[in-house]
Amino acid sequence: MCTYTTVHADMDGSAKGPGSAWFHAGRATVYFDHPVHAMAEHTLNIDLTDPDGDPARRVALELTAESARALVAAIQEALAAVPDELKV
Amino acid sequence: MYESMIATLVRIPGHAGDEIEAYVARPEAEFRRGGVVVIHHMPGWDRGSKEITRRFAELGYDAVCPNLYTREAPGASPDDAAAVARAQGGVPDDRLIGDVAAAAAYLRALPTSNGKVGVIGYCSGGRQSVLAACNTDVDAAVDCYGAFVTGEVPTEFPLKITNLVDQLPNLGAPLLGLFGAEDRYPSPEQVDELERILTAEGKPFEFHRYEGAGHAFFANERPSYNVAAANDGWERIERFFGAYLGA
C-alpha cells in the first residue's frame, strides 16, 4: 500500500539524532506506509526533523500500528499525570 | 545475459535544466540496444532501485535511474531524502515528466542507442511511468502497482497528485501493468477501471494480476516480496521490452 497520506505537526522541542547530536525538532511528519527497516509490510512512520536543517538530522520511527497506539496511549497517560500548574 | 557491465553515477540536465543525479548501468559490450528509464519508488533512490537498474543492463539495455529527490536533499542518504520529499509534498508531475524526458534523451544520445527507450516505475513510480508515457516520447511503459492512475484521490491528501484519467487518451506507448490482487492502492477495482479506459481508447496494453500478492511484490528486501509474482513479472517485463525496444 502506498497511501500517500501524510500528516504534519509543528513542534517545538529537541531530538537526538545522527552522531549522537541534539537538534531542534520543529516538525513531525506522520504517515502509514512501507517501512525502510522494520520487518512489517506497513508501519506508522514518524520523522522528527528540523525543517530548516540538514535532511540527515532526522529521527525516524517505524512502528507497527499496535506499537504506535501503545505509544500514543503512553504519551496520553504521561501527560494526564501532569499537574495542571505545570501544563503549558 | 550481459553479466559484464559498467555501473556509475552521472549528473544529467533534468527538468528546467536542473542538474540531477542519475545511476547508469550499461552492458560492457558494443552493440545497438534499447534504453530503460527506471523510476524509483516513493522510498527513494535506494539500493533496490539501483539493483533493478543493473538487472536491465544484464538483460542487454542501457539503463538509467534518475534521483527524483536530488533537488530536495542533495547528497543525503536515500531514506532521508525520501523523508524530505514526502514532507514537502512529493515530486510535482511536471518536474517528473521533465526528468524522465531528460533521462530518455540521455539514453538516446549514447553511441550504443538504437533510438528506443522504455520506462518502468514501481509504487508511486508506477503512476509516474504512465504519466511519462502520456507526456513524453517513449516506446514502451511498465506500471508496477502504481496507485492513483485511476480512482479518486482523497481530498485531504497533502501530496499534490491527481489521477491520470484525463491524460490516458494521450498514452503514446504500449503499457504493461503488473498488479497484486491483494493490493488496495491500486485496488483491483481501480485496475479494472484502467483496463476499461484503455480498451475504450484502443490503447495497446497487457495486464497481469497476481493472486496472493499485495503491493510492492518486487521489493526483495521487504516483507511484501512475493517470489512467484516477482519471478513471473520479471519474465513478462523481459518479453515486453524485448518486443518493443529491440532494434
Q: pLDDT tens digit string along B125-163?
A: 999 999 999 999 999 999 999 999 999 887 666 666 899
Q: CA nearest B37: which of B116, B134, B149?
A: B116
Residue A2 pLDDT grade (very low, low, confident, very high; cuts 50, 70, 90): low
Query: In A, which residues are within 8 Å of B153 by CB distance?
Result: 4
Strand partners, A21: none
pLDDT at B200: 98
Q: Which amino acid is at B225?
A: Y
Q: pLDDT tens digit string along B184-222?
A: 999 999 999 999 999 999 999 999 999 999 999 999 988
How many angstroms separate the CA atoms of B243 and B206, rounded? 12
ipTM score for this prediction: 0.74
3-state secondary structure of B233: helix
Average pLDDT, chain B: 95
Residue B247 pLDDT grade (very low, low, confident, very high; cuts 50, 70, 90): low
Residue ranges per structural domain of chain A = 6-86
Whether residue A17 has pLDDT greater than 90: no
Average pLDDT, chain A: 90
Query: In A, which residues are within 8 Å of B147 by CB distance?
Result: 2-4
Instruction: Using CA coordinates, name the residue in chain A closest to B71.
Output: A55
Architecture, CATH, for domain B5-244:
3-Layer(aba) Sandwich (3.40)
How many angstroms separate the CA atoms of B81 and B41, rounded? 12
Residue ranges per structural domain of chain B = 5-244
**Residue A12, min C-alpha distance to chain B (Å):** 17
